[in-house]
Each structure stands twice: as structure tokens, then as C-alpha cells.
């Protein structure tokens, strides 16, 4: 498979030009990488998704933009998950997607940081937990399955929950546990302090258990056991 990439320094250069309102020659900066055969990756599903995400985002009236990110993270995962691991692990591919197709969506999602000139970390894929597209992919992967779409975008005001307690930690690599954790937070919401305490306890579990292999019943028993007894729904 031949697939397009942008070198990180080119990604940063093009991002700066886009922020300044210029129309850079993106295609001229693109290189092509090869995995396996030399058949070109069909980019049309990605382009169609990006157009739809951007259009829908601009019509999103809820101030909680994280919920939209979660809702469409499942769509991004479905379009990209069949690609070879070598492609998904290639930083240059994520840079290309961000600049070529998803720039307007990312600029909308991180409107505040973009306005302050703090835009690079959201597009250059240096950190997959900060850059918008990789973190969406990880978020959706963490709760893939029949409940995925409902969970990924179902928790209000959940930016910290996803980034700090799922995407950036090992919980995000155990989909059953991550899904049960998200469902618990959606049903019986913890505020910041008790949530962080519970997440710390969950992180310590990895030292003597193997959550990767938990089934739903085992995951539910684990999360229920860690949840504060006096927890009650809270809207922050």
C-alpha cells in the first residue's frame, strides 16, 4: 500500500501558513510511503468523512465540543481501523490527515488554543494523546463494540476523563475495562477529585492483575469495587 505522509517539519510549516490565512501548496509537500504492495490507499472515504465532520461541527450548537469529538471518534475509527499497523503508527500519516483533510475540524475543536497561537500540538502528532486525530482514534478504540458510539460521546464535560483517565493511561488499551469505566462515569458521575482518586486506584491494579483479559463481568466487578460508596450523580 502506498500512502501519503507529511514530514513533521513540513506539517508545522503548513500549519503556520494555514493559521495565518494563507493557502499553502500542501500536495507539493506530500511524500509517499509504502507498506506491502504499491497499490495506492483509497483516500475517498477519509475525504468524505472529513467533509461531513466539518460540516456537522459547524452546525453543532452544544458548547460541549468534547461530546462531538467523542461522537465522531467512532466514525474516524471505523474508516481507519482496517489500515495496516505500520500506517497507523506513522506520525507522517496523521500529519497529512490533519493538514490535508481535517484542518477546519481541528481548528473548530480547539478554537481557543488556535486563537492563542497554540495549535501545533493538535496537528503534528508528536503526542498521540494531544493531537486531535490520534487521540480520537485511541478513544474510539478504547470503547469499540456495540456500545462504543454511545459511550465515546455520551459523557458531558468529559475532556479530562478521556484524556487523563483513558487515552493517556493503560486503561485505554483494555477496551472492556475502559467501556465499563465510561459507562459507570456516565451513569454515576464522579467529580474531579474522587474521579482522580478512583483512576489512581485503577492504575495500581495493573501491577497485580491483567485487565486486558477481563470479560465484562470481571471488569464491572473491578470498577464497582473501586467506585466510592457515597458517589452520586453530579453535573460539575
Q: What is the pLDDT of residues 145-198, one digit of tens each?
A: 656 778 899 899 999 999 999 998 999 889 999 999 999 999 999 999 999 999
First to last CA, the chain: 47
Q: What pLDDT is stored for residue 98 in this prediction?
A: 98
The domains of the chain are located at 2-226
Lowest mean pLDDT among 97-101, 107-111, 168-172: 168-172
Lowest mean pLDDT among 22-36, 46-60, 205-219: 205-219
Note the pTM of the prediction, 2 decimals: 0.89
- Does residue 12 contact residue 124 with C-beta atoms inside 8 Å? yes
- Does residue 181 contact residue 145 with C-beta atoms inside 8 Å? no
d(CA 17, CA 25): 10
Q: What is the pLDDT of residues 38-63, one digit of tens each?
A: 899 999 999 999 999 999 999 999 99
| C-alpha 166 chain-centroid distance | 10
Amino acid at each position: 500500500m502506498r500512502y501519503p505522509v507529511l514530514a513533521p517539519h513540513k506539517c508545522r510549516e503548513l500549519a503556520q501558513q494555514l493559521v495565518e490565512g494563507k493557502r499553502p501548496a500542501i500536495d507539493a509537500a506530500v511524500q509517499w510511503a509504502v507498506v506491502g504492495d504499491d497499490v495506492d490507499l483509497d483516500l475517498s472515504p477519509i475525504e468524505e468523512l472529513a467533509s461531513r465532520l466539518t460540516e456537522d461541527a459547524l452546525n453543532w450548537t452544544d458548547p460541549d465540543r468534547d461530546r462531538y469529538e467523542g461522537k465522531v471518534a467512532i466514525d474516524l475509527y471505523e474508516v481507519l481501523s482496517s489500515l495496516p499497523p505500520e500506517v497507523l503508527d506513522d506520525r507522517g500519516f496523521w500529519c497529512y490527515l490533519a493538514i490535508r483533510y481535517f484542518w477546519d475540524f481541528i481548528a473548530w475543536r480547539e478554537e481557543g488554543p488556535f486563537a492563542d497561537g497554540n495549535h501545533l500540538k493538535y496537528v503534528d502528532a508528536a503526542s498521540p494523546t494531544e493531537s486531535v486525530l490520534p487521540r480520537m482514534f485511541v478513544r474510539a478504540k478504547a470503547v469499540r463494540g456495540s456500545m462504543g458510539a454511545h459511550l465515546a460521546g455520551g459523557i458531558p464535560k468529559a475532556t479530562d476523563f478521556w484524556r487523563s483517565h483513558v487515552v493517556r493511561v493503560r486503561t485505554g488499551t483494555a477496551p472492556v475495562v475502559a467501556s465499563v469505566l465510561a459507562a459507570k462515569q456516565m451513569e454515576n458521575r464522579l467529580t474531579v477529585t474522587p474521579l482522580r482518586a478512583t483512576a489512581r486506584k485503577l492504575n495500581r491494579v495493573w501491577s497485580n492483575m491483567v485487565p486486558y483479559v477481563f470479560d465484562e463481568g470481571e471488569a464491572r466487578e473491578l470498577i464497582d469495587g473501586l467506585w466510592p460508596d457515597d458517589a452520586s450523580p453530579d453535573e460539575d
